[in-house]
Amino acid sequence: MFKTIIMWVFGVLLLLQAIQIDIPEPEVIDPKEVIQAPEEIMAMFKTSCYDCHSSETNMPWYGNVAPISWEVRSHIKQGRKWLNFQTWESYDEEKKQKLYKGIAKSISLSMPIPMYLNLHEEAKLTRAQRESIRKWAQSNIKEEN
């Protein structure tokens, strides 16, 4: 009985591997489109945001194993769609302004995604680091009259 269950679980997991979410191959990165920010801010973006918000994802092994990969890959797909730091300069001013506001807000609330942080110790940001990202984003927001 136990053996049969194990075989079934294993079989189903194997079948699931046939279903994968495609994320586009990393596009060629145009250095002119990459966001310009002070060095220490860039360093934090690279360690804490680039996996989902750039064209260069460091895919973990479980990013290829269904069903975990569905979650991982949909985060990457969605993340890039919302904000890709490496295609930043292709955005118009309105979109940039929205994103500066989004960064200022999400950096103290929801980004990086908590589940990601559970698996990526190196991506954790201290309160002071979050504050410096927030200040940088804030300084780029133009006052609306």
Which residue, 3 or 93, is less far from ligand HEC as judged by CB?
93
Piece of 8-16, 23-31, 48-56, 59-67 that binds ligand HEC (CB under 6 A): 48-56
- Cα–chain-centroid distance for residue 11? 32
Find out whether 42 and 123 touch, Cβ atoms under 8 Å. Answer: no
48, 54, 55, 86: which one contacts ligand HEC (CB under 6 A)?
A: 48
Size of the site for ligand HEC (CB under 6 A): 19
Which residue, 18 or 128, is less far from ligand HEC as judged by CB?
128
Quote the tokens at residue 93.
């001013």
54, 55, 57, 75: which one contacts ligand HEC (CB under 6 A)?
A: 75
- Give the count of beta carbons closer than 10 Å to the beta carbon of residue 52: 21
Q: Does 84 bind ligand HEC (CB under 6 A)?
A: no
CB proximity list for 2: less than 8 A, separation 6 or greater: none
CB proximity list for 35: less than 8 A, separation 6 or greater: 42, 45, 85, 86, 88, 89
How many angstroms separate the CA atoms of 77 and 21, rounded?
A: 9
Q: Does 111 bind ligand HEC (CB under 6 A)?
A: yes
Residues that bind ligand HEC (CB under 6 A): 48-49, 51-53, 75, 78-79, 82-83, 99, 102-103, 106-107, 111-113, 116
